[in-house]
């Protein structure tokens, strides 16, 4: 049984062609360093298809309406489509419901219409890997309004609130790293998170864009940050 388990694990890793960024519990900084695309978008629809050209040929295809292209390169995404003023992309991942049987890769996010996410995405064609999201659910930050309608950010499909920043004063780091579940204060962004509330989407995007600018050389016009 032990040998069989080890064989299956090695087989899975070899087929998926995963690197350390695929399963790792990555910080926001690590995701920004690794990602090929980053978007704020809303899930429009999903469907299950069989694609014999894929290594995992039973797959779920998710259409996302891009609300903000954070890396300013989404036109290079393989399934990029512009319809009027709207931009859409389609991402796909192994698993789905076929003949009444549900299959999924544990840890990969499941997307449903109406959900809003900040997504860090691989270029699957260039990297030749089977999953689209950097770090599985780690790279999909769900945006959920609070009771006052303020958009706030959660990790792992909306389960864990992203509560605040670890500031330079706390980490002695040249960057301010955001972590899930961290209670911290950052006066620059007006986010204390001392009451346990998840940080706002606005504060998250400020942090994301700061890192994209510093780590990836992306320029944002004044007012975009």
What is the pLDDT averaged over residues 131-153?
90
* Sequence-ordered list of residues with C-beta below 8 angstroms from that of 22, at least 6 positions apart, any chain: 16, 129, 131, 134, 135, 136
pLDDT of the residue at 183: 37
* Lookup result for tokens 């994209």: 212
pLDDT of the residue at 113: 97
Strand partners, 48: 60
Q: Kindly report, residue by residue over 193-224, the tens digit of the pLDDT.
A: 445 578 889 988 988 898 899 889 999 876 66
- The rounded distance, in Å, linking the Cα atoms of 64 and 124 is 16
* DSSP letter string, 141-196: EEEEE-TTS-EEEEETTTTEE--EEE-HHHH--SS-EEETT----BGGGTB--TTS
Percentage of the chain lying above the pLDDT 90 cut: 37
Q: Which helix (H) or strand (E) holds 102?
A: strand 101-104
Percentage of the chain lying above the pLDDT 70 cut: 69
The predicted model scores a pTM of 0.77
pLDDT of the residue at 181: 38
Pairing of strands 86-98, 58-69: antiparallel
DSSP designation for 198: P
Q: Kindly report, residue by residue over 12-70, the tens digit of the pLDDT.
A: 443 344 444 444 577 788 889 999 999 999 999 999 998 877 666 789 999 999 999 99
- CA-based max dimension of the chain: 60
């Amino acid at each position: 049984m032990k040998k069989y388990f080890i064989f299956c694990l090695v087989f899975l890793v070899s087929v998926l062609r995963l690197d350390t960024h695929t399963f790792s519990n990555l910080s926001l900084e690590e995701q920004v360093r690794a990602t090929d695309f980053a978007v704020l978008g809303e899930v429009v629809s999903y469907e299950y298809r069989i694609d014999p050209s894929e290594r995992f040929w039973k797959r779920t295809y998710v259409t996302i309406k891009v609300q903000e292209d954070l890396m300013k390169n989404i036109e290079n995404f393989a399934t990029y489509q512009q319809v009027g003023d709207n931009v859409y992309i389609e991402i796909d991942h192994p698993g789905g419901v076929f003949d009444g049987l549900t299959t999924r890769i544990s840890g990969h996010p499941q997307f449903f219409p109406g959900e809003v996410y900040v997504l860090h995405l691989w270029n699957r064609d260039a990297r030749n890997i089977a999953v689209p999201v950097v770090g599985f659910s780690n790279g999909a930050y769900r945006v959920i309004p609070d009771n006052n309608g303020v958009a706030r950010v959660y990790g792992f499909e909306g389960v864990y609130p992203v509560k605040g920043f670890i500031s330079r004063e706390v980490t002695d780091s040249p960057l301010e790293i955001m972590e899930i579940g961290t209670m911290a204060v950052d006066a620059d962004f007006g986010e204390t998170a001392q009451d346990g509330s998840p940080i706002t989407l606005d504060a998250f995007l400020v942090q994301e864009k700061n890192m994209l600018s510093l780590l990836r050389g992306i320029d944002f016009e004044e007012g975009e940050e």
